Amino acid sequence: MAEVPVDAVGKRVSCGGERATVRYFGPVPPTAGLWLGVEWDSPDRGKHDGSHEGVQYFTCRHPTGGSFVRPAKVSFGVDYLTAVRQAYKIDSEEVLSEEISISRKKLKWGNIKERGFESLPSVLLSRSDVSGSGADGQIRTTTPSILLQTVLDALLALRTCELHKAYNRLRLPPDPSALRHAFSALRVLVLNGCQLTWPQILECAPMWPQLEDLCVEENNITELQRLEQLNLSKTGLSVIQFEDAAPGNDTVSSLTASVVLLCLDWFVVNELAKLPSLVRLSCRGNKLVSGDGNPKTANQMLIAKLEQLVVLNGCEIHADDRRGAELDYIKMFGEEWLKAGGRSQPSPQFVCEHPRYQALISKYGAPEEGELKKPEPFALKNQLLKITFVFPDDANRKPLEKKLPASMVVQKVKGLLYRLLKVPAADLRLTYTSPKVMVGTEFEIDSDLKTLQFYSIEDGDQVLVRWS
Cβ neighbors of 394 (< 8 A, separation 6 or more) are: none
- DSSP, collapsed to helix, strand or coil, labels residue 56 as strand
- More confident site: 77 or 303: 303
Q: Which residues contact 257 (CB under 8 A, 6 or more apart)?
A: 228, 229, 277, 278, 279, 280
Is 47 a domain residue? yes
Question: Could you say which of 73, 108, 125 is where a domain stops?
Answer: 73
User: Under a CB-based contact definition with an 8 Å cutoff, are residues 92 and 114 in contact?
Assistant: yes
- Domain contains 78: no
Residues 6+ apart with CB under 8 A from 369: 338
Contact status, residue 214 vs residue 184, Cβ threshold 8 Å: no
Within a domain: 398: yes
Predicted TM-score (pTM) of the model is: 0.42
In 3-state terms the chain splits into helix, strand, coil percentages (rounded to 5) of 25, 20, 50
Long-range contacts of 456-459 (CB under 8 A, 24+ apart): 456/284, 456/285, 456/286, 456/295, 456/313, 457/385, 457/387, 457/406, 457/432, 458/295, 458/385, 458/434, 459/385, 459/386
Domain contains 35: yes
Q: Is pLDDT at 129 greater than 60 in this prediction?
A: yes
Give the tens place of pLDDT for each residue, 362-400.
Answer: 998 887 766 665 555 544 445 688 999 999 988 889 999
Which of these three, 19, 47, 73, is where a domain ends? 73
Q: What is the count of structural domains for the chain?
A: 2
CATH number (domain holding residue 407): 3.10.20.90
C-alpha to C-alpha distance for 295 and 287, rounded to whole angstroms: 10
Q: What percent of the chain has pLDDT over 70?
A: 75
Range of the domain at 450: 384-467
Residues 6+ positions from 215 with CB-CB distance below 8 Å: 189, 190, 191, 192, 231
Q: Categorize the per-residue pLDDT at 158 as very low, low, confident or very high, splitting at 50, 70 and 90.
A: very low
The pLDDT assigned to 151 comes to 38
Lowest mean pLDDT among 125-129, 156-160, 286-290: 156-160
Mean pLDDT, residues 270-284: 81
- The pLDDT tens digits for 316-345 are 899 988 998 998 899 889 888 888 887 778
CA gap 10, 282 in Å, rounded: 40
153 near 132, Cβ under 8 Å? yes
The CATH code of the domain that includes 51 is 2.30.30.190
Task: Select from 28, 51, 73 the last residue of a domain.
Answer: 73
The answer as to whether 64 is a domain residue is: yes
**Measured distance CA(210)–CA(188) in Å, rounded:** 9
In a domain, 98, yes or no: no
Q: How confident is the model at residue 156, as a pLDDT?
A: 35
